[in-house]
């Protein structure tokens, strides 16, 4: 318990907002521990699924269904037990939950043999499990997964699957904007609503869930372009500008995503989370680079745009409102 | 009162303990200064605009020259960049660091210096290789970075220096005399060459770690996040080279693995001695997990590997968390940033 916590508690008591002794601080992990555990659990779960296919020769839906129920159930139980049993049990539970979710998605995919219903099922499953998972890392991973599946569902449903994009006519401005808005405005709206109503929910039992949800949403917003169009987003050097004179309004996506990443950065700053802010600023750089490559104009125009934007930003920094640091209020 | 580093989850727990309503929660956030004040927003936005503006202008000039390559004479290109460079230096002298304008001008001058070297090499056909351009840029740009004493400039310098290191160690730069003298020109020695990238980064990390506590100016120029990044980059070089020699066994394991393990031991010893930042311990643990994965991939047949690898990842990451997490919580106190 730090002096700051105690001082804060004493101040609350002085103002009549608190009474009695301060309870123990909740256990929380530094961001890099969560990152390491999350990555290790995710890879473990994928390999466990692969092992069940190759070694146990799982091939029919029922086998994956049984696996999904067993693993997800035991994973949730382990995550609950980990509150007293420690970090190792928590990691075991996380791997079991992730593998169980993967098995459930495989089960549904084998039953329906259709991509878009499977994506919709994934969104519903990942969001429905959120309240049952007592681990912040599991909740963040589920939120990120649900956002990715949602974006793929909407964009593939309205534009067709990426393998057809090269042959299909590129969408018009209206459709490109509509698809992007349907993909990302709900995510942005949810993040803004959570932050705007922070004081309403922080004393409630849903607070840990909403905190994890917010982290997942902000990471998704920061990395919107590669998530919404993985092939073009990750392989930006292959995306390229249209060189035959035709116009693809999909090139606007990274620009729009740039603005959402900036808003996400603002929300991360508002939450005083430096690690989230770093992710969002990385996302901003990614979107600028992506838009630069996608923009089908000459190098001269691009350079002039950069010079104008740069000059504008420098003028804003020079003549913008000067900070007047006022000392602490309490 | 500013409750330094008090995690949001800690504030939630406080609010929940006494069942604060919205007004009470707002007061709690206000007392803890958990939300940035308007002045902090202004300062952060100005700094963001400054860095983004400098980068946009710097790269805008580069692309402008590239776009007008044929239209501009060699002298014209050089003059254009020299004007940018001289203008930035003049601005930095007029409003020296630590003023934001001076720092931004020095960062712009650093970018301009790199462009100037590239143009010089292009116009006068010096025969210099790309890695030599980046080495020269890192070396001659260092005074600008030192003068700026700004994390953004240091980050830019580290990026340039690491591109030079990556090109020099990771990509065979022709018949370079050093590699020739060491007998490392062969393709089989690529992993060993790559492993050398570990040392400059590790050395810089150690120097910055040792100096940051004594000299606040150094801490300002190379803050904790940059020192952590340096360490992660160093470990990335070492881990990639170590995995390479394990998976693609060619007799160089004896030359790559012991120095890397020694470096890891040194990092752990330093972190345990300082008892401040737990990240180095987790980074070394992650490198060890990856290394054992490479060993398993090399030693175990495919089917057994599918069963063993997830088990290893689970056991290793879980054990790391249960051993190191209490240590991390103790060292970091309540300054968790998540």
- Residue-wise pLDDT for B130-165, tens only, equals 888 899 999 999 999 999 999 999 999 999 999 999
Report whether pLDDT(A242) > 50. no
Question: Nearest CA to CA, how far is B240 from chain A (Å)?
Answer: 17
Same domain, B136 and B273: no
Indicate the residue among B124, B140, B171 that finishes a domain: B171
Do residues B191 and B163 both lie within one domain? Answer: no
> Does B205 fall in a domain?
yes
Confidence of residue B173 (pLDDT cuts 50, 70, 90): low
**For B102, which residue in chain A has the nearest alpha carbon?**
A318
Residue B294: its chain A contacts at CB < 8 A? none
CA–CA separation, A33 vs A15, rounded Å? Answer: 37
- Contact assignment for B306 to A299 by CB distance below 8 Å: no
Nearest residue of A to residue B336, measured between CA atoms: A30
| B286-289: Cβ within 8 A, 24+ apart | B286/A36, B286/B320, B287/B235, B287/B238, B287/B239, B288/B264, B288/B316, B289/A40, B289/B313, B289/B316, B289/B317, B289/B320
Poorest-confidence range of A136-140, B27-31, B86-90, B303-307? B303-307
* pTM of the full structure: 0.86
Q: Is residue B114 part of a domain?
A: yes
State how many domains chain B has.
2
* B191 shares its domain with B138: no
**Chain A residues inside the 8 Å CB shell of B102:** none
Q: Is the ipTM of this complex over 0.85?
A: no
* A314 contacts B325? CB cut-off 8 A: no
Q: Is residue B2 included in any domain, yes or no?
A: no
Q: What is the mean pLDDT of chain B?
A: 87
Q: Which residue has the higher pLDDT, A204 or A327?
A: A204
Residue in A1, A50, A67, A91 to test binding to B, most B beta-carbons within 10 Å: A91
Q: List pLDDT tens digits, range A291-317.
A: 887 777 777 888 888 889 999 998 888
Q: How far is CA A249 from CA A174, A246, A253, A305, B12, in A?
A: 9, 10, 8, 19, 44
Do residue B328 and residue A33 have CB atoms under 8 angstroms apart? yes
B185 and B325 share a domain? yes
Helical residues (DSSP H) of chain A, grouped into ranges: 3-14, 31-54, 61-85, 87-112, 115-129, 136-159, 162-165, 173-196, 198-201, 207-222, 224-228, 230-234, 236-239, 252-270, 274-294, 299-319
* Interchain CB distance below 8 Å, B63 and A54: no
Task: Give tens-digit pLDDT for A45-59.
Answer: 999 988 888 888 877
B205-220: average pLDDT:
90
Average pLDDT of every residue of chain A: 84
In a domain, B222, yes or no: yes
**Rounded Cα gap, residues B141 and B109, in angstroms:** 9
CB contact under 8 A, B66 and A303: yes
Chain A: closest CA distance from residue B69 (Å) = 10
- pLDDT at residue A215 greater than cutoff 70: yes
Q: Do B35 and A204 lie within an 8 Å CB cutoff?
A: no
User: Inter-chain contact A88–B322, Cβ cutoff 8 Å?
Assistant: yes
Interval A149-171: pLDDT, tens: 999 899 888 887 766 555 556 77
Kindly determine whether residue A304 and residue B19, on different chains, have CB atoms separated by under 8 Å.
Answer: no
**In a domain? residue B34:** no
**Separation in Å, CA A129 to CA A44, A124, A178, A215:** 20, 9, 29, 17
Q: Provide φ and ψ at B49, rounded to 5°.
A: -60, -40
Among the partner-chain residues A23, A34, A323, the one whose CB lies closest to the CB of B43 is A323
pLDDT at B175: 63
Same domain, B131 and B224: no
A91 vs B contacts (CB less than 8 Å): 314, 317-318, 321
pLDDT class of A102 with cuts at 50, 70, 90? very high
The mean pLDDT of A31-44, rounded to a whole number, is 92
Whole-angstrom distance, CA of residue B6 vs CA of residue A6:
11
CA dist B164 and B158 (Å) reads: 10
- Indicate which of A54, A272, A292 best probes the interface with B, i.e. most B CBs within 10 Å of its own CB: A272
CA-based nearest residue in chain A for residue B49:
A313
End of a domain among B123, B152, B171?
B171
pLDDT value of position B140: 92
A27: nearest CA partner in chain B: B329
Q: What is the mean pLDDT of residues A178-205?
A: 94
B/e letters for B212-229, b = 16+ CB within 10 Å, e = fewer, are beeeeebbebbebebbbb
Query: Are A202 and B44 a contacting pair at CB < 8 A?
Result: no
Rounded to an integer, the average pLDDT of B26-55 is: 90
Instruction: Please tell me the predicted confidence (pLDDT) of residue B132.
Output: 84
Whether residue B32 lies inside any domain: the answer is: no
Tell me, yes or no, whether B59 and B117 share the same domain: yes
First to last CA, chain B: 21
> Cβ B3–A30 below 8 Å, yes or no?
no
State the Cα–Cα distance between residues B218 and B210, nearest whole angstrom: 10
pLDDT of the residue at A145: 93
Domain end, chosen from B171, B205, B225, is at B171
Least confident of A40-54, A188-202, B58-72: B58-72
Q: Report the distance separating Cα B231 and Cα B270, nearest Å.
A: 12
Q: What is the mean pLDDT of residues A33-50?
A: 92
**Out of A36, A55, A202, closest to residue B15 by CB:** A202
Query: Bigger pLDDT: B117 or B285?
Result: B285
Instruction: Tell me which chain B residues have a C-beta less than 8 angstroms from the C-beta of A322.
Output: 42, 46
Cβ-defined contact of B11 to A202 (cutoff 8 Å): yes
**Distance in angstroms (rounded) separating the CA atoms of residues B307 and B305:** 5
CB spacing of B317 vs A208 below 8 angstroms = no
Distance between CA atoms of residues B97 and A34, nearest Å: 37
Residue A244 has pLDDT above 70, yes or no: no
Higher pLDDT, B129 or B260: B260
Is B205 in the same domain as B101?
no
Task: State mean pLDDT over B108-129.
Answer: 83
Q: Report how far residue A79's alpha carbon sits from residue B310's, in angstroms, rounded to the nearest whole number.
A: 19
pLDDT at B16 > cutoff 60: yes
- Among A11, A28, A49, A316, the strongest candidate for a mutation testing the B interface, having the largest count of B CBs within 10 A, is A28
In this structure, the answer to whether residues B264 and B318 fall within a common structural domain is yes
For residue A330, name the pLDDT band (cuts at 50, 70, 90).
very low
Query: Tokens for B15?
Result: 């609010």
Mean pLDDT confidence for B52-63: 86
pLDDT band of A12, cuts 50, 70, 90: confident
| Domain regions of chain A by residue span | 151-315
Domain that holds residue B142: 52-171
B322 interaction partners in chain A (CB closer than 8 Å): 86-88
Residues of A in Cβ contact (< 8 Å) with B35: 270, 272
Q: What is the pLDDT of residues A310-328, one digit of tens each?
A: 999 988 887 876 555 444 4
């Amino acid at each position: 318990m730090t002096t700051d916590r105690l001082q804060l508690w004493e101040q609350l008591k002085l103002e009549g907002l608190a009474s009695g002794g301060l309870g123990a601080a909740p256990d929380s992990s530094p961001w890099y521990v969560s990152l390491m555990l999350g990555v290790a659990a995710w890879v473990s779960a994928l390999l466990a699924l692969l092992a069940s296919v190759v070694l146990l020769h799982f091939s029919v839906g029922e086998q994956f269904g049984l696996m999904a129920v067993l693993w997800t159930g035991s994973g949730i139980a382990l995550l609950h037990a980990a509150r007293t049993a420690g970090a190792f049990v928590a990691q075991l539970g996380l791997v079991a939950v992730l593998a169980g979710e993967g098995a459930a998605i495989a089960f549904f995919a084998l039953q329906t043999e259709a991509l878009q219903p499977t994506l919709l099922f994934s969104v519903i499953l990942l969001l429905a499990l959120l309240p049952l998972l007592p681990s912040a890392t599991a909740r963040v991973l589920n939120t990120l997964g649900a956002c990715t599946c949602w974006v793929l569902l909407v964009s593939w449903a309205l534009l067709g699957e990426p393998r057809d994009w090269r042959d299909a006519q590129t969408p018009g401005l209206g459709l490109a904007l509509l698809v992007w808005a349907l993909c990302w405005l709900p995510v942005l709206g949810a993040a803004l609503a959570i932050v705007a109503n922070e004081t309403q929910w922080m004393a409630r039992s849903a607070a840990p869930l909403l905190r994890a949800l917010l982290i997942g949403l902000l990471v998704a917003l920061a990395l919107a372009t590669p998530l919404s169009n993985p092939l073009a987003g990750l392989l930006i050097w292959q995306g390229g500008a249209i060189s035959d004179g035709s116009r693809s309004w999909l090139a606007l996506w990274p620009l729009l995503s740039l603005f959402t990443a900036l808003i996400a950065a603002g929300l991360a700053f508002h939450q005083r989370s430096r690690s989230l802010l770093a992710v969002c600023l990385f996302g901003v750089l990614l979107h600028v680079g992506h838009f630069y490559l996608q923009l089908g104009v000459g190098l001269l125009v691009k350079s002039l745009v950069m010079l104008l934007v740069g000059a504008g930003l420098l003028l804003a920094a020079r003549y913008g409102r000067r900070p007047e640091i006022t000392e602490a209020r309490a | 009162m500013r409750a330094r580093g008090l995690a949001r989850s800690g504030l939630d727990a406080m609010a929940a303990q006494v069942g604060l309503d919205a007004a009470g929660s707002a007061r709690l956030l206000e007392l803890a200064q958990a939300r940035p004040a308007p002045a902090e927003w202004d300062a952060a936005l100005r700094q963001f605009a400054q860095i983004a503006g400098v980068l946009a202008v710097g790269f805008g000039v580069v692309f402008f020259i590239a776009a007008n390559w044929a239209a501009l004479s060699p002298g014209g290109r050089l003059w254009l960049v020299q004007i940018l460079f001289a203008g930035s230096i003049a601005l930095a002298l007029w409003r020296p660091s630590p003023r934001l304008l001076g720092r931004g001008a020095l960062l712009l001058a650093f970018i301009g210096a790199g462009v100037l070297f590239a143009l010089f090499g292009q116009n006068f056909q010096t025969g210099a290789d790309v890695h030599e351009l980046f080495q020269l840029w890192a070396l001659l740009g260092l005074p600008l970075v030192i003068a700026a004493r700004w994390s953004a400039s240091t980050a830019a310098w580290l990026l340039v220096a690491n591109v030079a290191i990556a090109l020099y160690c990771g990509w065979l730069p022709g018949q370079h005399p050093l590699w020739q003298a060491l007998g490392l020109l062969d393709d089989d020695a690529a992993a060993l060459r790559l492993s050398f990238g570990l040392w400059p980064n590790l050395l810089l990390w150690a120097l910055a770690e040792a100096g940051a506590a004594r000299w606040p100016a150094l801490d300002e120029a190379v803050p904790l996040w940059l020192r952590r990044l340096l360490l992660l980059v160093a470990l990335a070089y070492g881990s990639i080279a170590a995995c390479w020699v394990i998976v693609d066994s060619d007799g160089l394991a004896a030359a790559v693995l012991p120095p890397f393990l020694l470096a890891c031991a040194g990092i752990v010893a330093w972190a345990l001695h300082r008892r401040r930042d737990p990240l180095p311990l987790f980074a070394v643990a992650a490198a060890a997990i990856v290394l054992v994965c490479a060993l398993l991939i090399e030693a175990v047949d495919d089917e057994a590997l599918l069963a063993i690898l997830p088990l290893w990842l689970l056991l290793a990451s879980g054990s790391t968390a249960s051993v190191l997490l209490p240590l991390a919580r103790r060292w970091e106190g309540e300054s968790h940033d998540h």
